[in-house]
A and B are shown apart, each in its own frame.
Chain A
Amino acid sequence: AQSVAQPEDQVNVAEGNPLTVKCTYSVSGNPYLFWYVQYPNRGLQFLLKYITGDNLVKGSYGFEAEFNKSQTSFHLKKPSALVSDSALYFCAVRDDNTDKLIFGTGTRLQVFP
């Protein structure tokens, strides 16, 4: 069965430092991968996706993600974190069998001033 794993419940980083939020996936076919962000008391907002092509995907708010097929990973990155980036981040994969999005359990990013 298709799945995604977010191994870290929380990531702490100082403002101005680079950040990485990890995601690994398991799919039977070609992976369609997504990152979403959720601010407090809000719905999820789409950040970026990987369908095919360049392994480095650029998205909203300066975020990017790197697709690594050999490591089955799709880590979210940003060169310089902002306090306003503090939020809950979800990785998702499209299920090959049902075509639905399967979400990870989420990683809380805390950026300290």
Chain B
Amino acid sequence: IAGITQAPTSQILAAGRRMTLRCTQDMRHNAMYWYRQDLGLGLRLIHYSNTAGTTGKGEVPDGYSVSRANTDDFPLTLASAVPSQTSVYFCASSDRVGTEAFFGQGTRLTVV
């Protein structure tokens, strides 16, 4: 089935540990995004990529890094997790920046 695949679906992580959330799309979309969803705050953009080889900072980038080595993959790394990074993380892609985005199922991350 075409779309966006995120892994893992959920994770409990000890504070201070490093973690990479994986995201793969098979729609050949140019733009990809990482959002976090928190109660009462909606979705906030962490990082984005307009096209393979480029990345940019969103609204809440601190503590996160991304890479875009190819069109399909857009991993999100937490170098040293903190409890405030407990959230649901969504990866999304769009044909180009600003058009409607397609979302993955999400990764529920709990940092303890």
Tell me the A residues contacting B by CB distance below 8 Å: 32, 34, 36, 41-46, 49, 90, 94, 99-106
- B62 near A: Cβ within 8 Å? no
The answer to whether A90 and B102 touch across the interface, beta carbons within 8 angstroms, is: no
Q: Interface with A: B14-22, B38-46, B65-73, B79-87, which one?
A: B38-46
Residues from chain B with a CB closer than 8 A to the CB of A42 are 105-106
The answer to whether A99 and B98 touch across the interface, beta carbons within 8 angstroms, is: yes
What's the nearest-Cβ distance from chain B to residue A87, in Å?
A: 14
The answer to whether B45 and A100 touch across the interface, beta carbons within 8 angstroms, is: yes
CA distance A106 to B41 in the complex (A): 8
The answer to whether B90 and A101 touch across the interface, beta carbons within 8 angstroms, is: no
The answer to whether B48 and A100 touch across the interface, beta carbons within 8 angstroms, is: yes
A101: contacting residue among B40, B98, B106, CB under 8 A: B98
Listed A/B pairs (9) with beta-carbon separation below 8 Å: A41-B106, A42-B105, A44-B43, A44-B101, A49-B100, A90-B42, A99-B98, A100-B98, A104-B42
Residue of A with least CB distance to B50: A99
Residues from chain B with a CB closer than 8 A to the CB of A101 are 33, 45, 98, 101
The answer to whether B106 and A90 touch across the interface, beta carbons within 8 angstroms, is: no
The answer to whether A94 and B98 touch across the interface, beta carbons within 8 angstroms, is: yes
Residue of B with least CB distance to A9: B40
- B103 near A: Cβ within 8 Å? yes
- B97 near A: Cβ within 8 Å? yes
Residue of B with least CB distance to A96: B98
A32: contacting residue among B4, B58, B90, B98, CB under 8 A: B98
With A99-B98, A100-B48, A100-B98 as given contacts, are A44 and B103 in contact (CB-CB < 8 Å)?
Answer: yes
Residues from chain A with a CB closer than 8 A to the CB of B61 are none
What's the nearest-Cβ distance from chain B to residue A99, in Å?
A: 4
Residues from chain A with a CB closer than 8 A to the CB of B42 are 90, 103-106
What's the nearest-Cβ distance from chain A to residue B97, in Å?
A: 4
The answer to whether A43 and B97 touch across the interface, beta carbons within 8 angstroms, is: no
- B104 near A: Cβ within 8 Å? yes
CA distance A99 to B56 in the complex (A): 12
